[in-house]
Amino acid sequence: MGKRDREATRARLLEAARLRFAREGYDATSVRDIAGDAGVDAGLIFRYFGNKKRLFDEATADIPADLLDGPEEELVARMVRSVVFADWTRYGGEHPLVAMLRSSAHEDTRQRIREEVCSTYVSALENLAEGDDAGLRAELLSAWLVGIGILRSVVATPALAKADLDDLAPHVAAVAEGLLGRPMSGTTEA
């Protein structure tokens, strides 16, 4: 098997794993299911990833690297784009955090969610918040944004499922300003 074939097989396994983990969570997904979806032998998962846990970690590692780049006043809008409106078809249309949440019965997954959410989203918001309880307000805003993403993609509530960024922008800006204590934009330049 050539290098291109190995890379293509590895990519198919990651794609199949993303969809399975997003839909079913870690426990309900077997390596045989993933391999079958990718059209390969299950032994290749162990060859390329070592074990199911490492495959899960790699398949759900997709927090945008550029999330924190740009004007501070547009951070919340960038988060909304990432969490609520990004094209997550690789994960069955849901943010990779949803796959991790479906697998949160495992302590190591809960710890990873905590680390990724806190070190990325919450930390950035806390740095923008003013006042003694900045951490609490940053977590409240983060919870609200994640909740919007879940209601829109997983639950598909009618109004949120139809809403676009422009529909949410004034509400997002108002809540973010109220919680962070400073003006925030609800939109970014596309």
pLDDT of 108 strictly over 50: yes
DSSP string, 81-142: IIIIIS--GGGTTS-HHHHHHHTTTSHHHHHHHHHHIIIIIIHHHHHH--STTHHHHHHHHH
135 closest CA partner among 148, 146, 121, 149: 121
Residue type for 178, please?
Answer: G
Residue 31 lies in a domain: yes
Residue 50 sits in the same domain as residue 116: no
Residue 18 sits in the same domain as residue 95: no
Domain with residue 30: its CATH number is 1.10.10.60
Task: Please give the model's pTM, rounded to 2 decimal places.
Answer: 0.69
Residue 104 lies in a domain: yes
Residue 82 sits in the same domain as residue 147: yes
pLDDT score of 4:
82
- The whole domain housing 145 covers 72-180
Per-residue tokens: 186: 């609800």
Per-residue pLDDT tens over the stretch 71-84: 888 888 888 887 77
User: Could you give the CA distance from residue 126 to residue 70 in angstroms, rounded to a whole number?
Assistant: 16
Residue 72 DSSP symbol: G
Per-residue pLDDT tens over the stretch 127-137: 999 888 999 99
Query: In the predicted model, what is the mean pLDDT of residues 21-38?
Result: 89
122 closest CA partner among 88, 84, 75, 69: 75
Task: Give the sign of the dihedral formed by CA 42, CA 48, CA 92, CA 146.
Answer: positive
